[in-house]
Structure 1
């Protein structure tokens, strides 16, 4: 999720308006905050820290997706694959990983199994 989308969702969830955020962020007016929410500008480090405090989340949570999009080691195909993977449910993700591992000729480590509850002998009667 892009930074502007994250900021808009957090603002909506926390009930903070543009004016509320502007008063919580040093050296940021309502026009600047609006530009962040529209994705036209990016906040600086101090402003990100203040946004994180205003929303009650770690600053890294705001930047996680942004940092991954700036990773020069990832190709566009890798970004597309990751986005598709995240859209799947956990069973589908496991199947996709099995297919990818088979195509690459590698073995994927088996996910930890959840222990099943055994029925007691009384319940079986």
Structure 2
């Protein structure tokens, strides 16, 4: 997922506007950014710098690496786009939701493995 898409999802999930994000980034110790700049990041017209990424991560309460998932996907060719999308979605869940999702995934994987074993034994 691109940085702009990740930022839009995080902003939507937390009910933050570009103005809210810019205001949060004006706190002491945060990299400053104006509303126009934040809006450009959300549209994908500009990319935030490293200090700004750190400030964005603090604003959204996520690790900076979560904002760079697209870059991570280009560095890990063993994962498919779907795997990266699933991981990005997983990271946005609360611990209870993560547990439920893992339970479902394990159940589905077990069903798929059982079908594969039956087909191979025929």
Shift in alpha-carbon separation, 1:87–1:3, aligned structure 2, 3 A = closer
| Alpha-carbon distance in structure 1 between the residues aligned to 2:85 and 2:5 | 17
TM-superposition CA deviations, 1:9-43 (whole Å, max 9, x none): 00011111110111222331111101100111110
Shift in alpha-carbon separation, 1:53–1:8, aligned structure 2, 3 A = same
Aligned to 2:80: 82
Larger CA Rg, structure 1 vs 2? 1
Q: Considering only aligned residues, what root-mean-square deviation do their CA atoms show, in Å?
A: 2.8
| Alpha-carbon distance in structure 1 between the residues aligned to 2:22 and 2:84 | 33
Which residue of the other structure, out of 57, 60, 68, is the alignment partner of 2:62?
A: 57
Q: Count residues with an aligned counterpart.
A: 88
| Alpha-carbon distance in structure 2 between the residues aligned to 1:5 and 1:20 | 17
Aligned to 1:31: 36
Moved more, 4-13 or 25-34: 25-34
Shift in alpha-carbon separation, 1:87–1:49, aligned structure 2, 3 A = closer
- TM-score w.r.t. the length of structure 2 is 0.59
Task: Select the structure that is richer in helix.
Answer: 2
Map 1:13-32 to 2 at 5 A.
Answer: 13-25=13-25, 26-32=31-37
Give how far 1:87 is off. Answer: 7.3
Aligned to 1:3: 3
SS of the equivalent of 2:19 reads helix
